[in-house]
Amino acid sequence: MDAGDRYSRQVIFPPIGEEGQRRLSDSFVAVIGCGGLGTMIASTLVRAGIGRTRIIDRDRIECHNLQRQVLFSEEDIHNGLPKAVAAERFLRKVNSSVEVEGIVADVDRASIEGLVAGADVIMDGMDNFEGRFLVNDVSLKHGIPWVYGSAVGSCGMTMSIIPGKTPCFRCLTGSQPPPGMPGTCDTAGIVGAAPSVIGALQSAQAIRILIGEDVSPQYLTLVDVWLGDFRRLRTGYRKDCPGCQGRYDYLEGRR
């Protein structure tokens, strides 16, 4: 299949162009988590021609996932497939000209540096704060940009973190919230459009980063798909942020 024709509508978009498309084809993105956010992110980036996409998730597909996780089918559940394996199989059929790698693994402080080594961008498809603090530490330590995203109920939010150029995740959130706060899909439910919209916004930010566009100053984007409400909040540095001061509490096991 002609790669020029595949990406032609993207290439004629002036901010991307031929040079931007070449940069995308040379890029490596690590997607951590393959739920509602991760499936949308992985689908969008593979279709956009990211040269190498690694999808990392430990879980198997369950029936309730099909409401919002766009890479899976009832057949995958019947076959007992892990999410990362099913996502890889599906996306290889979508775009055979790029590399898609599904890894069934826990992402913890012992494994994360190896899993994201060499990545140009890390994408957040997770559902817990501890994992995000861990990604934030790795991002700051190794200078890898990452795109935060979360969605629950009908709401979601996203922000890009560029080490040395933007505030980090701990600047935004401070300390880890108590267990059960905020709500989860299990407790508050989820409208399928929420992770789809947030995942699409995350993917657009990743493409901007990968083609070399300046995404600072940075904002936290908040969306309520039920009400059709979009807002942006300017983010700022915290003077006492341990991550920005080179203390990687989660990566080094102090938290």
Residues with a known catalytic role:
185
Bridge partners, 44 (sequence order): none
- 185-218 burial, b for 16+ CB within 10 Å, e for fewer? beeeebbebbbbbbbbbbbebbbbbbbeeebeeb
Instruction: Report which of 9, 4, 29, 3 is spatially closest to residue 211, judged by C-alpha positions.
Output: 29
Chain centroid, CA 37 distance in Å = 7
Altogether, the residues listed in the chain come to a count of 255
The CA distance from 176 to 55, in Å, is 25
Burial class (CB in 10 A: 0-12, 13-18, 19+), 74: exposed
For residue 246, how many other CB atoms are within 10 A of its CB?
8
Residues near 213 by Cβ (< 8 Å), separated by ≥ 6? 15
CB 32 within 8 Å of CB 125 = yes
